[in-house]
Amino acid sequence: METTRIAVEGMTCQGCVNSLTRALKSTPGVQSATVTLEPAQASIEHDPLAAPVDALRAVIADAGFEAR
């Protein structure tokens, strides 16, 4: 497992945080995910083979936010 932090743009409220957290946690290979508004980021513990960083960025985009 490794931990990746990704800055996220476009979140405005706790509902956004909850939505993105659910999306990340439901991704195969993700063990845990913590999303915060301040700073606007996602901290994801994942298996880099099952859930590479590019896939995590795609989940963030699919949820309607921008990964930086």
pLDDT of residue 33: 98
Residue 27 belongs to domain with CATH number: 3.30.70.100
- Closest of 66, 8, 65 to residue 37, by C-alpha: 8
pLDDT of residue 6: 98
**Domain containing residue 61:** 2-67
In tens, the pLDDT along 9-32 reads 999 999 999 999 999 999 999 999
Task: Report yes or no: 5 and 41 within 8 Å, Cβ to Cβ.
Answer: yes
In tens, the pLDDT along 24-67 reads 999 999 999 999 999 999 999 999 999 999 999 999 999 999 99
pLDDT of residue 58: 98
Q: How many separate domains does the chain show? A: 1
The pTM of this model reads 0.95
pLDDT of residue 32: 98
